[in-house]
Structure 1
Amino acid sequence: MDEAIKKADVLIEALPYIKKFRKKTFVIKYGGSILGEETIRRGVLEDIVFLSFMGIKTVLVHGGGPSISEKMRKLGKKSEFVDGMRVTDKETLRVVEEELMELNKLIVDEIHQIGGTAVGLSGKHHGLFHAEKIKARVDLGFVGIVTGVKTDLIEKDLKTSAVIVIAPMGVDGHGVVYNINADEAASKTASALTAEKFVLLTNVRGVMRNPEDPESLITSLDLTDIKSLIEQNVIQSGMIPKVNACIDALEGNVNKTHIIDARIPHALLLEIFTDKGVGTEIVK
Structure 2
Amino acid sequence: MQDIIKKADVLIEALPYIRRFKGTSAVIKAGGSMMEDKDIVKAVLEDIIFLGSVGINPVLIHGGGPRISEKMRQAGLKPKFVDGLRVTDAKTMKIVEEMLDEANAEIANHIKELGGNAKPLCGKADKIIKARKLKHKGKDMGLVGRISSINTSPIKKMFESDTIPVISPIGIGTTGCVFNINADQAACEIAAALKAEKLVLLTDTKGILRDESDEETLIPTLTITEAEDLIKRNIIQAGMIPKVKAAVTALNKGVKKTHIIDGRTSHAILLEIFTDRGIGTEIIR
> Under a length normalisation based on structure 1, what TM-score does the superposition of the two structures give?
0.99
Q: How big is each residue's C-alpha offset from its partner over 1:136-165, in whole Å with a ceiling of 9 and x where there is no partner?
A: 221111110110000111101111111110
Q: How big is each residue's C-alpha offset from its partner over 1:219-257, in whole Å with a ceiling of 9 and x where there is no partner?
A: 000011012211221101110000000011001100000
2:96 equivalent in structure 1 = 96
Report how far residue 83 of structure 1 moved: 1.5
1:172 equivalent in structure 2 = 173
Separation in 2, partners of 1:84, 1:6: 43
RMSD between superposed Cα atoms in Å: 0.7
Contact 1:61/1:165 (8 A) holds in 2:
yes
Query: Which amino acid letter does the alignment assign opposite residue 73 of structure 1?
Result: R
Output aligned runs, 1:79-118, within 5 Å. Answer: 79-118=79-118
Output aligned runs, 1:176-191, within 5 Å. Answer: 176-191=177-192
Contact 1:32/1:202 (8 A) holds in 2:
no
Separation in 2, partners of 1:125, 1:164: 14
Separation in 2, partners of 1:60, 1:108: 10
Gaps of 5+ in 2: none
Could you list the runs of 4 or more consecutive aligned residues of structure 1 that deviate by over 4 angstroms after TM superposition?
A: none
Contact 1:30/1:62 (8 A) holds in 2:
yes
Output aligned runs, 1:249-260, within 5 Å. Answer: 249-260=250-261
Query: Which amino acid letter does the alignment assign opposite residue 63 of structure 1?
Result: G
1:212 equivalent in structure 2 = 213
> Under a length normalisation based on structure 2, what TM-score does the superposition of the two structures give?
0.98
Q: How big is each residue's C-alpha offset from its partner over 1:29-61, in whole Å with a ceiling of 9 and x where there is no partner?
A: 111311111111111111111111111101001
Separation in 1, partners of 2:76, 2:54: 46
Q: How big is each residue's C-alpha offset from its partner over 1:40-85, in whole Å with a ceiling of 9 and x where there is no partner?
A: 1111111111111111101001111111001111112100111211
1:54 equivalent in structure 2 = 54
Gaps of 5+ in 1: none
Give aligned pairs, total: 284
Contact 1:40/1:262 (8 A) holds in 2:
yes
Q: How big is each residue's C-alpha offset from its partner over 1:208-229, in whole Å with a ceiling of 9 and x where there is no partner?
A: 0111111100000001101221
The SS at the match of 2:20 is helix
Query: Which amino acid letter does the alignment assign opposite residue 193 of structure 1?
Result: L
Contact 1:25/1:195 (8 A) holds in 2:
yes
